[in-house]
């Protein structure tokens, strides 16, 4: 059964624009840092090891695309992620992928169900067994006293 894609088509251009806005390593690093707290340019430059001219250029792009917002306190401008939930969801997902926070197929059984948001699991090639051609969704591990039936 094919999925109904009619609801996706009108949002495709918007999604592409959002993806393009994140399509630079420095912008991704900045967004992952801003997940935790708002930061000034000086804070980001020191913490992220991105030189000020490059950082300012990438922040301008993120501001133009509505991904970050600013707040001025005297002479210092603080940056934070925008309040858009799509931005927050995307940044959460991409930062999890970048930091290997998502469990691999080998250790899925060890993760408590309520600790990982199941709606945000990324598609990973590790869930596909190249040798057999089948998807790997779970590994059944017998508990003590049970026989291995394989």
**Domain of 138, in residue numbers:** 103-150
β-bridge mates for residue 70, sequence order: 79
Say if residue 115 is in the same domain as residue 72.
no
Is residue 25 in some structural domain? yes
Tokens 């707290």, residue located: 37
DSSP H stretches of helix in the chain: 12-21, 25-36, 41-48, 52-64, 85-98
Say if residue 18 is in the same domain as residue 48.
yes
Report whether 26 contacts 50 (CB < 8 A): yes
Say if residue 70 is in the same domain as residue 112.
no
Predicted TM-score (pTM) of the model is: 0.60
Report whether 93 contacts 120 (CB < 8 A): yes
Number of domains present in the structure of the chain: 2
pLDDT-based confidence at residue 67 (cuts at 50, 70, 90): very high
Summarised one tens digit per residue, pLDDT across range 10-45 is 788 888 888 898 899 999 999 999 988 999 999 999
pLDDT at 149 over 80: no
């Amino acid at each position: 059964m094919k999925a109904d894609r009619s609801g996706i088509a009108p949002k495709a251009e918007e999604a592409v624009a959002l993806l393009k806005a994140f399509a630079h390593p420095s912008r991704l690093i900045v967004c992952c840092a801003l997940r935790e707290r708002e930061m000034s340019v000086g804070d980001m430059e020191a913490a992220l090891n991105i030189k000020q001219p490059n950082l300012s250029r990438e922040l301008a792009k993120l501001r133009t695309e509505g991904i970050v917002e600013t707040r001025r306190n005297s002479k210092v401008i603080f940056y934070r992620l925008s309040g858009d939930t799509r931005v927050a969801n995307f940044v959460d997902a991409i930062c999890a992928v970048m930091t290997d926070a998502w469990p691999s197929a080998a250790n899925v059984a060890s993760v408590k169900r309520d600790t990982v948001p199941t709606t945000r699991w990324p598609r990973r090639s590790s869930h596909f067994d190249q040798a057999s051609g089948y998807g790997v969704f779970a590994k059944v591990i017998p508990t003590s006293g049970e026989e291995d039936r394989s």
